[in-house]
Amino acid sequence: MASVDLSYYYGYEAEQFSFYRIPKRIFTDRRFATISTDAKLLYGILLDRMSLSMKNGWHDDQGRVYIIFTLEDVAETLGYKTEKAIKLFNELDTKKGVGLIERVRQGQGRASLIYVKNFAGERQTSPKPKSRPRKNRGQDFG
116 within domain boundaries:
yes
Our CA angle for 24, 87, 42, nearest 5°, is: 30
Our CA angle for 124, 114, 110, nearest 5°, is: 160
Q: What is the pLDDT of residues 62-109, one digit of tens each?
A: 999 999 999 999 999 999 999 999 999 999 999 999 999 999 999 888
77 within domain boundaries:
yes
Three-class secondary structure assignment of 74-118: HHHHHCCCHHHHHHHHHHHECCCCCCCEEEECCCCCCCCEEEECC
For the domain that residue 78 is a member of, what is the CATH number? 1.10.10
142 within domain boundaries:
no
Number of domains in the chain: 1
Say if residue 129's pLDDT is above 80: no
> What's the rounded mean pLDDT across residues 11-28?
86
33 within domain boundaries:
yes
Residue 137, number of CB atoms within 10 A of its CB: 5
The reported pTM is 0.75
Q: What is the pLDDT of residues 76-87, one digit of tens each?
A: 999 999 999 999
66 within domain boundaries:
yes
